Protein backbone atom coordinates (compact mmCIF):
# COMPACT_ATOMS: atom_id res chain seq x y z
CA UNK A 1 0.00 0.00 0.00
CA UNK A 2 1.48 3.33 -1.05
CA UNK A 3 1.04 6.39 1.12
CA UNK A 4 -0.71 9.33 -0.49
CA UNK A 5 1.40 12.50 -0.53
CA UNK A 6 -0.04 15.46 1.41
CA UNK A 7 2.16 18.54 1.10
CA UNK A 8 1.95 21.19 3.81
CA UNK A 9 -0.45 23.20 1.62
CA UNK A 10 -3.16 20.53 1.98
CA UNK A 11 -2.95 19.63 -1.71
CA UNK A 12 -3.31 15.90 -2.30
CA UNK A 13 -1.15 14.33 -4.98
CA UNK A 14 -1.71 10.76 -6.01
CA UNK A 15 0.18 9.13 -8.86
CA UNK A 16 -1.26 6.41 -11.08
CA UNK A 17 0.17 3.64 -8.89
CA UNK A 18 -0.53 5.36 -5.55
CA UNK A 19 -3.46 5.05 -3.18
CA UNK A 20 -4.81 2.30 -1.00
CA UNK A 21 -5.62 -0.74 -3.16
CA UNK A 22 -8.11 -3.46 -2.29
CA UNK A 23 -8.30 -6.59 -4.48
CA UNK A 24 -11.50 -8.65 -4.53
CA UNK A 25 -11.16 -11.13 -7.39
CA UNK A 26 -12.77 -9.62 -10.52
CA UNK A 27 -13.15 -6.33 -8.66
CA UNK A 28 -10.53 -3.95 -7.28
CA UNK A 29 -10.72 -0.55 -5.62
CA UNK A 30 -8.05 2.12 -5.28
CA UNK A 31 -8.79 4.84 -2.73
CA UNK A 32 -7.21 8.14 -3.71
CA UNK A 33 -8.47 10.24 -0.80
CA UNK A 34 -10.55 9.33 2.21
CA UNK A 35 -11.71 10.74 5.51
CA UNK A 36 -8.18 11.18 6.86
CA UNK A 37 -7.24 13.48 3.96
CA UNK A 38 -10.64 15.21 3.58
CA UNK A 39 -11.69 15.74 7.20
CA UNK A 40 -14.41 13.13 6.55
CA UNK A 41 -16.00 15.33 3.88
CA UNK A 42 -15.77 12.69 1.14
CA UNK A 43 -13.85 9.74 -0.16
CA UNK A 44 -12.82 9.30 -3.77
CA UNK A 45 -11.85 6.00 -5.31
CA UNK A 46 -11.44 4.17 -8.59
CA UNK A 47 -13.27 0.87 -9.06
CA UNK A 48 -11.89 -1.58 -11.63
CA UNK A 49 -14.34 -4.21 -12.86
CA UNK A 50 -12.99 -7.11 -14.88
CA UNK A 51 -15.18 -8.73 -17.56
CA UNK A 52 -17.82 -10.92 -15.94
CA UNK A 53 -17.77 -9.08 -12.60
CA UNK A 54 -21.36 -9.78 -11.45
CA UNK A 55 -21.80 -6.90 -9.03
CA UNK A 56 -21.42 -6.34 -5.34
CA UNK A 57 -25.10 -6.90 -4.53
CA UNK A 58 -27.94 -4.40 -4.49
CA UNK A 59 -27.60 -2.10 -1.48
CA UNK A 60 -28.18 1.45 -0.30
CA UNK A 61 -26.48 3.87 2.04
CA UNK A 62 -28.64 5.59 4.66
CA UNK A 63 -26.63 8.78 5.00
CA UNK A 64 -24.33 8.96 1.98
CA UNK A 65 -24.68 10.15 -1.60
CA UNK A 66 -22.61 8.24 -4.12
CA UNK A 67 -21.48 9.35 -7.57
CA UNK A 68 -19.91 7.39 -10.40
CA UNK A 69 -18.12 8.69 -13.51
CA UNK A 70 -17.31 6.08 -16.16
CA UNK A 71 -13.63 6.25 -17.13
CA UNK A 72 -13.59 3.23 -19.46
CA UNK A 73 -15.64 0.24 -20.54
CA UNK A 74 -19.41 -0.19 -20.48
CA UNK A 75 -20.46 -1.05 -16.93
CA UNK A 76 -24.08 -1.50 -15.89
CA UNK A 77 -25.32 0.49 -12.92
CA UNK A 78 -28.51 -0.33 -11.04
CA UNK A 79 -30.53 2.60 -9.67
CA UNK A 80 -33.72 1.59 -7.91
CA UNK A 81 -35.18 -1.20 -10.07
CA UNK A 82 -33.52 -0.21 -13.35
CA UNK A 83 -30.18 -1.28 -14.85
CA UNK A 84 -28.43 1.22 -17.13
CA UNK A 85 -25.53 0.37 -19.46
CA UNK A 86 -23.15 3.31 -19.42
CA UNK A 87 -20.28 4.40 -21.64
CA UNK A 88 -17.14 6.43 -20.95
CA UNK A 89 -17.98 9.96 -19.89
CA UNK A 90 -21.33 8.99 -18.33
CA UNK A 91 -22.12 10.18 -14.81
CA UNK A 92 -24.67 9.03 -12.25
CA UNK A 93 -25.56 10.46 -8.83
CA UNK A 94 -27.21 8.08 -6.38
CA UNK A 95 -28.80 9.88 -3.42
CA UNK A 96 -28.77 8.37 0.06
CA UNK A 97 -31.40 5.66 0.44
CA UNK A 98 -31.55 4.65 -3.25
CA UNK A 99 -30.80 0.99 -3.99
CA UNK A 100 -27.89 0.53 -6.40
CA UNK A 101 -25.28 -1.90 -7.69
CA UNK A 102 -22.74 -2.09 -10.52
CA UNK A 103 -21.46 -4.89 -12.75
CA UNK A 104 -19.47 -5.54 -15.90
CA UNK A 105 -21.10 -7.86 -18.44
CA UNK A 106 -18.80 -6.58 -21.20
CA UNK A 107 -15.71 -8.21 -22.64
CA UNK A 108 -13.27 -5.50 -21.55
CA UNK A 109 -12.29 -3.95 -18.24
CA UNK A 110 -14.50 -1.13 -16.90
CA UNK A 111 -13.28 1.65 -14.62
CA UNK A 112 -15.43 3.91 -12.48
CA UNK A 113 -14.40 6.99 -10.54
CA UNK A 114 -16.43 7.05 -7.32
CA UNK A 115 -17.19 9.93 -4.98
CA UNK A 116 -18.78 9.08 -1.62
CA UNK A 117 -20.19 11.98 0.42
CA UNK A 118 -19.59 12.28 3.36
CA UNK A 119 -16.44 10.20 3.68
CA UNK A 120 -15.82 7.14 5.79
CA UNK A 121 -16.75 4.33 3.40
CA UNK A 122 -13.14 3.19 3.32
CA UNK A 123 -13.50 1.99 6.93
CA UNK A 124 -15.62 -0.90 5.58
CA UNK A 125 -13.10 -2.02 2.94
CA UNK A 126 -11.26 -4.66 5.05
CA UNK A 127 -14.62 -6.35 5.83
CA UNK A 128 -15.66 -6.13 2.17
CA UNK A 129 -12.36 -7.69 1.04
CA UNK A 130 -12.83 -10.49 3.60
CA UNK A 131 -16.37 -11.12 2.32
CA UNK A 132 -15.18 -11.43 -1.29
CA UNK A 133 -12.35 -13.74 -0.21
CA UNK A 134 -14.77 -15.98 1.71
CA UNK A 135 -17.69 -15.87 -0.75
CA UNK A 136 -16.17 -15.03 -4.12
The verdict on residue 11 lying in a domain is: no
Tell whether omega for the bond before 48 is within 30 degrees of 0, i.e. cis: no
Per-residue pLDDT, 78: 97
pLDDT tens-digit profile, the chain (136 residues): 455 666 677 788 888 888 899 999 999 999 999 888 888 999 999 999 999 999 888 999 999 999 999 999 999 999 999 999 999 999 999 999 999 999 999 999 999 999 999 988 888 888 888 888 888 6
The verdict on residue 3 lying in a domain is: no
Per-residue pLDDT, 46: 97
DSSP string, the chain: -PPPB--TTS--B--TT-SEEEEETTEEEEEEE-HHHHTTS-EEEEEEE-TT---S-SB--SS-EEEEEEEES--EEEETTEEEE--TT-EEEE-TT--EEEE--SSS-EEEEEEEESS-GGGGHHHHHHHHHHH-
The verdict on residue 126 lying in a domain is: yes
Total domains in the fold of the chain: 1
CATH number of the domain where residue 96 is located:
2.60.120.10
Per-residue pLDDT, 60: 94
The verdict on residue 2 lying in a domain is: no
Distance of alpha carbon 76 from alpha carbon 16, whole angstroms:
25
The verdict on residue 4 lying in a domain is: no
The verdict on residue 55 lying in a domain is: yes
Domain holding 42, by residue range, is 21-135
The verdict on residue 121 lying in a domain is: yes
Amino acid sequence: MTKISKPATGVLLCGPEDGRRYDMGLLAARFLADEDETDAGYSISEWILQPGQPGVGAHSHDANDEMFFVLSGNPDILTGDDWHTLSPGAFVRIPAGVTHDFRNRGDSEARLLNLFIPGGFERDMPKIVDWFRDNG
